[in-house]
Amino acid sequence: MTWNKVDPNARPSDAAAPDEQPLVAEEAIDAEDPDAAASDDWTMDADALVLDEEDDPHLNGIARDALGQLLVVGERAAAFRSRDDGVSWERLSLPYDGSMFGVLALGEGHFLAYGLRGHVQETHDFGDSWRELDTGTESTLQGGARTPMAAYSWSATTARCCIALRAQSPSIC
């Protein structure tokens, strides 16, 4: 295969809007033309194409407790906390390295994060330590609610409640 430079500003004769400028005016290459001159060496830096996904995870849920502490959870075990109502943030480590889709504030420093494959994690010390709760399901947990008596998380896949946290003791609903 031969790599060849092509003019990115060249317009095909049947272009719908010949007066429009191209969106990208950089160099492009044509691998189909074996007769084109190949005077420049082309190399590909595969490392430059790899994005560090940890730098920009999707954030899916946020909760605030009565002390103004905020906890954010997201994809690939991304979690962040703020002790000062969002003025500054700190990265946390969750015990499960998958995605969390939501978080509930259950009390001062007490949070429940839920997500992919039925994973639920609980902290009583605002994320300094976590424990995994056994939900008895591998269904993705996509929603949660707190009531005066319990916290619930549910799965859209199975359309049922998957975990209830009552008096610090999880149970399957």
For 90-117, the pLDDT digits (tens) are: 999 888 989 999 999 988 999 999 999 9
- Looking at residue 55, its pLDDT comes to 63
Q: Which pLDDT score is estimated for 171?
A: 47
Predicted pLDDT at 34: 56
Distance CA 146, CA 149 (A): 8
How many angstroms separate the CA atoms of 142 and 95, rounded? 19
Q: So where are the chain's domains?
A: 1-50, 59-171
Q: Is residue 158 over pLDDT 70?
A: no
Is 2's pLDDT higher than 90? no
Contacts 24+ apart (CB under 8 A), 164-170: 165/106, 165/112, 165/122, 165/133, 170/120, 170/133, 170/134, 170/135
pLDDT for 10 = 62
Q: What per-residue confidence (pLDDT) applies to 139? A: 83
For residue range 23-69, list pLDDT tens digits in order: 444 444 455 555 554 555 545 455 544 445 556 788 999 999 999 99
Residue 67 neighbours by CB under 8 Å, 6+ apart: 108, 109
> What is the pLDDT confidence band of residue 135, given thresholds at 50, 70 and 90?
confident
Answer for the pair 113, 103: CB distance below 8 angstroms, yes or no. Answer: yes
Indicate the pLDDT class of residue 1, thresholds 50, 70 and 90: very low
Question: Could you tell me the CATH superfamily of domain 59-171?
Answer: TolB, C-terminal domain (2.120.10.30)
Residue 84 has pLDDT above 80, yes or no: yes
